[in-house]
DNA sequence: CGAATGTCTACTGTCAACAAATAAAGCAAT
DNA sequence: ATTGCTTTATTTGTTGACAGTAGACATTCG
């Protein structure tokens, strides 16, 4: 049996977990805010048992942290932890692109192309682009590639991570229009490589996008990069000339 | 084995989770075996509450699967799911190597070199190499690089995955001596790159090792690979640790 | 006035029991 | 013997209560 939780209904615990989880994702709970068992139990009209279980589920999805005797609280990533997360996520993203290019059927490829066009359509409204809409389009495209990467484990792992990452995605989209332009260029190059089924180049470009995003986040969070003029590279790909 | 009276710094749930988790990792529980709440509760002399929580923790570590109304059972990966896991893990491994090369101090580098020598020392006994010892040495080296990659999230994510992966690692080590020799060659090349702080080459070699391992596992599990040059071998069937 | 200490409150950790649902056993009919 | 249904039994889901701890507050002493 797969890791994916295909079962949605029954069980109060799962219902509460998805509800609170969505709320956390949407930012209705502040990072670090305490998730009191009793308060949540009262709110849903249940006892503390299912709530306790729901909090465990949230911890499994890394949306909450549980400290013994201190209870659960909304996950609060330190700046360096955010960087770490995007680093790991970037590696998975590059893998997803690589696998998608290798395994996608023609129809799936068409679907991806359509999503790429959607991104360009939205970006065409420069300089008046809705950051949220732009972000959503990018996320949709990456989710599509992920879903058709043919690797369920990757989908689950990265999907879980995305729930966290997207809380900070707004930072990326709102910041520096120049960044958005660079992002679009890289994205175009990556999509070209994807269309021509050049898994290697696509993976490299994916990794570049990730590193660009990372540098932007670093700047915003005020964390100095390890190597300012780092050359972007793929998880396994060769160097490319700038 | 009643420990309810013992004053533990950790909660009962966490204690039970680590205990059962270790047992699963060691193969004392068969894949797919049911983890009955009541049986475990009786065994540890506690009520079902903490046990339930422990099972949630095990699910978080992906050592167990919880299906609503059907209870928890030891995770049972299908052959293709094993491939998927090693694929994801490989990507993380390459990242770990890359980061380690970039960020390791001189002392940490020395430590890694020592572990590499240990691997070669064990492998020198060819063709009479203890697979378990060999596996342990390789795992120690990769764990060292991971621990000093400077990315806590990567360490946690991959560490969790390793607990699963190492159940199937024996397959790799026991199989085909030729594979071990190729593995050693690649490993040597990677270590050279690591020593000279060539993150790019090191990462590439890491990825190659991963892909080699993957092809071996594919052969053993009888799953056709995406690469054409792979020779279909006699499907000896999934000979997994019980 | 500040620091250390004692008390209080709120919360978590744990338990035992009840309710609901699934899996297993038993039995009848073909 | 096999199939289908009914009944029983075991297991999970949930509850409310009790016990112990962490943190806040007030108190006392240097």
| Residue A19 forms part of a structural domain | yes
Task: Choose from A225-234, B128-137, B155-164 the range with maximum mean pLDDT.
Answer: B155-164
Q: Average pLDDT in the B14-33 region?
A: 91
pLDDT digits (tens, 9 = 90+) for B88-126: 999 999 999 999 999 999 999 999 999 999 988 988 876
Same domain, B62 and B134: no
Q: Is B153 near strand D, with its CB below 7 A from some atom of it?
A: no
pLDDT, residue A176, reads: 63
Task: Give the percent of chain A with pLDDT over 70.
Answer: 85
Q: Is A95 in the B-facing interface, judged by CB distances under 8 Å?
A: yes
A90, A214 Cβ separation under 8 angstroms:
yes
Residues 6+ apart with CB under 8 A from A167: A25, A27
| Residue A198 forms part of a structural domain | yes
The shortest C-alpha distance from B29 to chain A (Å) reads 17
A163, A74 Cβ separation under 8 angstroms:
no
Out of B52, B56, B154, closest to residue A84 by CB:
B154
Same domain, A103 and A117: yes
Q: Is A52 in the B-facing interface, judged by CB distances under 8 Å?
A: yes
Task: Identify the domain boundary among B53, B74, B95.
Answer: B74
Out of A53, A60, A235, closest to residue B91 by CB:
A235
Same domain, A114 and A198: yes
User: Nearest residue to nucleotide D13 when comparing alpha carbons to its C1'?
Assistant: A11
SS3 helix, strand, coil % of chain A, rounded to 5? 65, 5, 30
Same domain, A58 and A94: no
Same domain, B104 and B211: yes
Interface with chain A: mutation pick from B91, B97, B186, B217, highest number of A CBs within 10 Å: B91
DSSP-assigned states of every residue in A53-109: HHHHHHHHTTSEEEETTTEEEE----HHHHHHHHHHHHHHHHHHHHHHHHH--HHHH
Q: How far does chain A reach from its first CA to its final CA, in angstroms?
A: 46
CATH of the domain at B18: 1.10.10.10
Question: By three-state DSSP, how is residue B159 classified?
Answer: helix
| Residue B236 forms part of a structural domain | no
Same domain, B197 and B111: yes
Please give the structure tokens belonging to residue B148.
């000093």
Same domain, A114 and A164: yes
Measure the CA–CA gap between A242 and A230, rounded to whole angstroms: 11
| Residue A228 forms part of a structural domain | no
B102 vs A11: CB contact, 8 Å cut-off?
no
| Residue A7 forms part of a structural domain | no
Q: Is the pLDDT of residue B58 over 90?
A: yes
Q: Is the pLDDT of residue A171 over 50?
A: yes
pLDDT digits (tens, 9 = 90+) for B206-225: 988 888 888 888 888 887 76
Residue A156 banded pLDDT, cuts 50, 70, 90: very high
Q: Average pLDDT in the A30-55 region?
A: 93
Same domain, B95 and B64: no
pLDDT digits (tens, 9 = 90+) for B199-208: 888 988 898 8
Same domain, B59 and B125: no
Number of domains present in the structure of chain A: 2
pLDDT, residue A220, reads: 83
Task: Identify the domain boundary among B35, B52, B74.
Answer: B74
| Residue A131 forms part of a structural domain | yes
Same domain, A105 and A168: yes
Query: Which has the closest alpha carbon to B77: B234, B233, B241?
Result: B241
Locate the chain B residue with the closest alpha carbon to A237.
B204
| Residue A4 forms part of a structural domain | no
Question: By three-state DSSP, how is residue B73 classified?
Answer: strand
| Residue A203 forms part of a structural domain | yes
Q: What mean pLDDT, rounded, does chain B reach? A: 83
Domain that holds residue A33: 12-74
Measure the CA–CA gap between A242 and A56, rounded to whole angstroms: 46
Q: If DSSP states are collapsed to H, E and C, what string results for B5-55? A: CCCCCCCHHHHHHHHHHHHHHCCCCCCCCEECHHHHHHHHCCCHHHHHHHH
Q: Average pLDDT in the A205-220 region?
A: 86
CATH of the domain at A126: 1.20.120.530
Q: Is B185 in the A-facing interface, judged by CB distances under 8 Å?
A: no
In 10 A of CB B241, how many CB atoms? Answer: 13
Chain B residue numbers with beta carbons less than 8 Å from the beta carbon of A88 are 92, 95, 151, 153-154, 157
Same domain, A134 and A166: yes
Out of A3, A84, A236, closest to residue B207 by CB:
A236
Please give the structure tokens belonging to residue A63.
């949306």
Q: Average pLDDT in the A26-34 region?
A: 89
Q: Is A13 near strand D, with its CB below 7 A from some atom of it?
A: yes
Measure the CA–CA gap between A143 and A137, rounded to whole angstroms: 10
Same domain, A69 and A21: yes
Q: Average pLDDT in the B37-53 region?
A: 93
CA of B208 to C1' of D29 (A): 70
Residue A10 banded pLDDT, cuts 50, 70, 90: low
Q: What mean pLDDT, rounded, does chain A reach? A: 83
The shortest C-alpha distance from B119 to chain A (Å) reads 23
Q: Average pLDDT in the A79-107 region?
A: 94
Locate the chain A residue with the closest alpha carbon to B13.
A68
pLDDT, residue B43, reads: 92
pLDDT, residue B226, reads: 55
Going A130 to A179 to A63 to B68, the CA torsion angle's sign is: positive
B73, B64 Cβ separation under 8 angstroms:
yes
């Amino acid at each position: 049996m797969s890791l994916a939780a295909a079962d949605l209904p029954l069980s109060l615990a799962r219902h509460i977990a998805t509800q609170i989880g969505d709320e956390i994702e949407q930012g209705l709970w502040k990072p670090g805010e305490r998730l009191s068992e009793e308060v949540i139990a009262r709110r849903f009209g249940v006892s503390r048992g299912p709530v306790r279980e729901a909090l465990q589920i949230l911890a499994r999805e890394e949306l909450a942290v549980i400290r013994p005797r201190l209870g659960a609280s909304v996950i609060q990533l330190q700046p360096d932890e955010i960087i770490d997360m995007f680093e790991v996520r970037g590696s998975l993203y590059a893998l997803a692109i690589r696998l998608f290019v290798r395994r996608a059927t023609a129809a799936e490829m068409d679907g991806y192309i359509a999503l790429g066009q959607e991104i360009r359509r939205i970006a065409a409204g420069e300089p008046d682009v809705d950051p949220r809409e732009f972000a959503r389009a990018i996320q949709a495209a990456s989710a599509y590639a992920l879903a058709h990467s043919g690797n369920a484990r990757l989908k689950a792992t990265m999907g879980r991570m995305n729930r966290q990452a997207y809380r900070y995605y707004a930072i990326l989209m709102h910041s520096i229009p120049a960044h958005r332009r660079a992002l679009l260029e890289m994205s175009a190059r990556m999509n070209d490589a994807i269309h021509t089924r050049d898994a290697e180049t696509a993976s490299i470009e994916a990794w570049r996008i990730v590193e660009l995003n990372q540098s932007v986040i670093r700047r915003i969070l005020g964390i100095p990069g390890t190597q300012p003029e780092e050359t972007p590279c793929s998880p396994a790909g060769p160097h490319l000339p700038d």
